[in-house]
Structure 1
């Protein structure tokens, strides 16, 4: 299948543009070239280990141009979800930096009693993934006291990635296995609400932020570029029919494009820079 005319880009961050505090070779310059073409860019990140402000500062320090309105994170959507659900006493399993997004909940999040919480909110926070904290989360979810719904306390996660590529160059566990452990322990069909990629709500929010174009932008004219066939390019990315580009950086492993149970990507590239090279040449 030949690539359609691409009129907008959704770009993953960790593993696609950078790994830890290091930019992927050629990525910063490739982004500058995209900005020069005038093609709208939206950075779509499931990063939940640091606040949106900290993430933007980190990207700029690495040499990436990040304009207002371009950076969309699962933490940003999480703020809206917590407010919309009227959650008053969440148990946050979030890093100290990520909690900067929720200053109004500082006292609640440090309570030692599981009965003081009405929900569990999970991001990538390795310091929380221990027996005592996960047991507390289990007890919150097992309780019906002060439940926001008739089904018991909510379990919400920024994403369910099984693993990530960490700055040491190795693969490390993501939040997904810990979320799955809680789902398994509670049983009864409990499934966490995933508010980041690859949920449909997340993608639609991001796409809706792209300025109106003439003719109207179609889903298959939008390319999403990422290093994770499941978390970046699965779910709603397949459902909506956007052009899905898998890059061989970050957490990519040989054969990911043919992984059983996943829809193959529309395109495989060595890196974000190589994709931009092809895109600019054919534009």
Structure 2
């Protein structure tokens, strides 16, 4: 059964020496691994270098992220984006034509979410006959060392409301995002387990795509998540070690 069970995981909860050991444990077990991240404040290369700097065994080709997925959509549809994204993410769009924009791409722009920048994106959208808004995720908030912070979803909703447009989400929890990760792993949904700390984007998104999903009680987890009216994880664990043990235990059964 070992070659039929896999894990698709995100970067949430990778915060300690124990997490590094668990990552090595996953790889040594023969499981395939994918890091599914909604990171949009850095390129995949920057994201990987940061984790490598902390001592994690990870490479760029193990990461599924929203910006490359958005670039594929832009090229396929001949779209030229006005970017409302973090400055560090702009290199991901280096090969995309951005002249005379006919759509808006919005990511977690952090301090770039000023009134002036939001209004500029609004003006681009409202001036289009067929406005297209592409969001690199729709998270409500995320956690940093100094506390919780508003995520891209809050600003996406503002543009949706102002322009009477429905955003196309290319990051988690979009089904296409998880399908892309599965394709990169070469596995079917029923063969994969998502491990994450976000009840809606990680757990809910994965389950809607047919994966099993485990929620870790770390990171952005809130106790109220366990009473979510729609999303019910296949399991809860207190840390990544418990998630790894749970997956390996199922392999042995």
TM-score by length of 2: 0.91
Residue of structure 1 in register with 2:126 after alignment? 142
Q: Does structure 1 residue 180 correspond to structure 2 residue 148?
A: no
Runs of 4+ in 1 over 6 A off after TM superposition: none
Distance 1:228 1:24, change over 3 A: farther
TM-score by length of 1: 0.82
Distance 1:95 1:106, change over 3 A: farther
**What does the per-residue CA deviation read over 1:228-265, in whole Å, with 9 as the maximum and x for residues that have no partner?**
01111113x222321110001110011202223x3211
Residue number among 165, 184, 209 corresponding to 1:240 in the alignment: 209
1:185-224 to structure 2, matched below 5 A, reads 185-187=162-164, 190-211=165-186, 217-224=187-194
Distance 1:107 1:83, change over 3 A: closer
Residue of structure 2 in register with 1:75 after alignment? 67
Distance of 1:251 and 1:25 partners within structure 2: 20
1:75-94 to structure 2, matched below 5 A, reads 75-88=67-80, 90-94=81-85
Residue number among 244, 249, 252 corresponding to 2:221 in the alignment: 252
Give the total of aligned pairs.
249
Residue of structure 2 in register with 1:95 after alignment? 86
Distance 1:107 1:86, change over 3 A: closer
Q: Does structure 1 residue 269 correspond to structure 2 residue 237?
A: yes
Distance of 2:98 and 2:133 partners within structure 1: 20
Residue of structure 1 in register with 2:51 after alignment? 59
Residue of structure 2 in register with 1:42 after alignment? 34
Decide whether the 8 Å contact of 1:120 with 1:156 is kept in 2: yes
Distance of 1:92 and 1:106 partners within structure 2: 11
Give 5+ residue unaligned stretches, structure 1.
Answer: 18-22, 109-115, 212-216
Distance of 2:174 and 2:213 partners within structure 1: 15
Distance of 2:5 and 2:239 partners within structure 1: 19
Give 5+ residue unaligned stretches, structure 2.
Answer: none
Q: CA RMSD in A?
A: 2.0
Residue of structure 2 in register with 1:16 after alignment? 13
Decide whether the 8 Å contact of 2:71 with 2:93 is kept in 1: yes
Decide whether the 8 Å contact of 2:34 with 2:64 is kept in 1: yes
